[in-house]
Amino acid sequence: MVKLILVLGDQLTPSLSALREGDKAADVVVMAEVADEASYVKHHPKKIAFLFAAMRKFAKRLEEDGWRVAYTRLDDEDNAGSIDGELLRRADEFGAKEVIATEPGEWRLISILEDMPIPVHQFQDDRFIASHKEFEEWAEGRKELRMEWFYREMRRKTGLLMDGDQPVEGKWNFDHDNRKPPPDGVDFSGPMQFTPDEVVEEVLDLVERRFGNHFGDLRPFWFATDQEQARRQLTRFVKHALPSFGDYQDAMMTGEPFLWHSIVSLYINAGLLGPLEVCEAARDAYKAGDAPINAVEGFIRQIIGWREYMRGIYFLEGPDYTGRNFLKHDRDLPGFYWGGRTKMHCISEAVGQTQREAYAHHIQRLMVTGNFALLAGIDPHQVHEWYLEVYADAYEWVEAPNVIGMSQYADGGIVGSKPYISSGAYINRMSNYCKSCDYSVSTKTGEGACPFNLLYWHFIDRHFETFEDNPRMGNMTRTWARMDDAKKETIRSEAEAWLKRMEAGEEV
């Protein structure tokens, strides 16, 4: 009897568990470009175009490999508009009574498949290193679920950068060596950029027609859209950028959106690259003496440590995770997150490159846009949806714990042991943004004071009781407590006045 095999847009991997469970001779692969998945949040046009083009190319690859593929394009007349609608339509067309699927990466889609009127068998997504069960067993009984300890388990499991039971060069983590401020110049021209072929151009025209009102620039479009192209970009990064990646992975520079970053997360998360293949390429460069340990370890930690840990937290915490709001923040996301004018150069740079490239690196996300949202008391669910909308590598399983947990502390400390907040001093140390800003990073209060300086202490004041006993926040709460009353009142009044101007839509 024929079965349907569902392949989603972020499951573009030939060895996908659902495909392994299927029968080429009898079953039908179902792939569909549907309006629901492109617009449940208003995804960046570049992300939609990337996925649709990559899906079309992957479907062709499956057909060449002997699969029968029922592929629905967005503008097909019979398109049901949703994944469940397409499965029911194809089940009726082919007389199928059941569906094979690899578990989706978000609770929303898992629930949709579980509520289907025909049986849907969801198989484990074993493209990840840690299964749900492994993560649950690791987490059980622990008071704190710290990524560093989980990462060490993943190193042991994979053998990456291990010398028997010990880490190579005697250390698990070389992060101390990866915090250099920005250099005078960048000697790497960025990721490999691919000229759109006929398939991609057709998709770009479609996305332009249908999603032209979404935030973000569709063109120029340069992403890889198949496995071969993605592997070429990986090779370019390892050869030309990885040696300097570690030193400057936290740095930020005006007019330099990519620095020495890999720009492969969108390819890993869509299935065009495997996490182990990426890590092994970096490890091999270290073994060959072509990249230093601090760069290679830092890069591998992002993938087998942080990426796997984020997924573990997302599925461990359950479907209500994205609605958490531990600090009870309720301000609306300001217009400058959508390209409105702001005098804050760091925000303008981070949002501007996000609009153009559907990309910003981890420190821009955490310590610029995320830091500001947390200091200003923005509703964390709005912040979560913004990140999900604007980045090409964003899927809820990885984005939500990074935002709700790490960035906004909305989970109350499950992911982070402290809120990741800073004044303007950190941004000034790790970037050259402040040199071009209308505000003065060295000014704490009064005319021209950096808003990050005001809002930092305003945050400490608002949440003093919450964090006064937090060992990692003690220095800051004690410093606030020692300030004289007049200085405290100046900070409160100036910060609140600034926030009121922001809420009124003034250029701030």
**DSSP per-residue codes, 330-383:** -BPPPGGGGT---S-HHHHHHHHHHHHHS---HHIIIIIIIHHHHHHTB-HHHH
Measured CA angle at 20 (ends 19, 25), to 5 deg? 75
- From residue 182, alpha-carbon distances to 55, 335, 345 in Å are 38, 29, 16
State how beta strands 4-6 and 28-32 pair: parallel
- At residue 1, the pLDDT reads 87
Measured CA angle at 305 (ends 300, 311), to 5 deg? 130
The gap from C-alpha 186 to its chain's centroid, in whole angstroms, comes to: 24
Q: Whole-angstrom Cα distance, residue 14 to residue 65?
A: 10
CATH code for the domain defined by 4-123: 3.40.50.620
- At residue 10, the pLDDT reads 98
- Rounded to two decimals, the pTM is 0.97
CATH class label, 132-311 = mainly alpha
**How many percent of the chain have pLDDT more than 90?**
99
Yes or no: say if 363 and 250 are a contact pair by the CB < 8 Å rule. Answer: yes
- Tokens 């080429």: give the residue: 24
Q: Whole-angstrom Cα distance, residue 74 to residue 479?
A: 57
Query: Terminal CA-to-CA distance of the chain, rounded, Å?
Result: 63
Structural domain boundaries of the chain? 4-123, 132-311, 335-503
DSSP per position, 414-457: SS-SS-----HHHHHHHBSGGGG-SSBTT--SSTTB-HHHHHHH
Contact partners, residue 43, CB within 8 Å, separation at least 6: 211, 214, 388, 389
Yes or no: say if 433 and 351 are a contact pair by the CB < 8 Å rule. Answer: no
Is the CATH number of domain 335-503 3.50.50.60?
no
Q: Whole-angstrom Cα distance, residue 368 to residue 347?
A: 6
Element (H, E) at 86: helix 83-94
- At residue 111, the pLDDT reads 97
- From residue 64, alpha-carbon distances to 13, 53, 67, 89, 328 in Å are 14, 17, 7, 24, 53
- At residue 418, the pLDDT reads 95
- At residue 177, the pLDDT reads 85
Q: Whole-angstrom Cα distance, residue 408 to residue 112?
A: 28
3-class secondary-structure state, position 413: coil
Q: Whole-angstrom Cα distance, residue 444 to residue 464?
A: 19
3-class secondary-structure state, position 121: strand
Q: State which residues of the chain have pLDDT below 50.
A: none
State how beta strands 120-123 and 99-102 pair: parallel
Q: Whole-angstrom Cα distance, residue 97 to residue 382?
A: 40
Q: Whole-angstrom Cα distance, residue 173 to residue 240?
A: 23
- At residue 352, the pLDDT reads 98
Contact partners, residue 440, CB within 8 Å, separation at least 6: 448, 449, 450
Q: How many CB atoms lie within 10 A of CB 133?
A: 9
**184-209 per-residue burial string, b: 16 or more CB within 10 A, e: under 16:** eebebebbbebebeebbeebbebbee
Q: Whole-angstrom Cα distance, residue 247 to residue 367?
A: 18
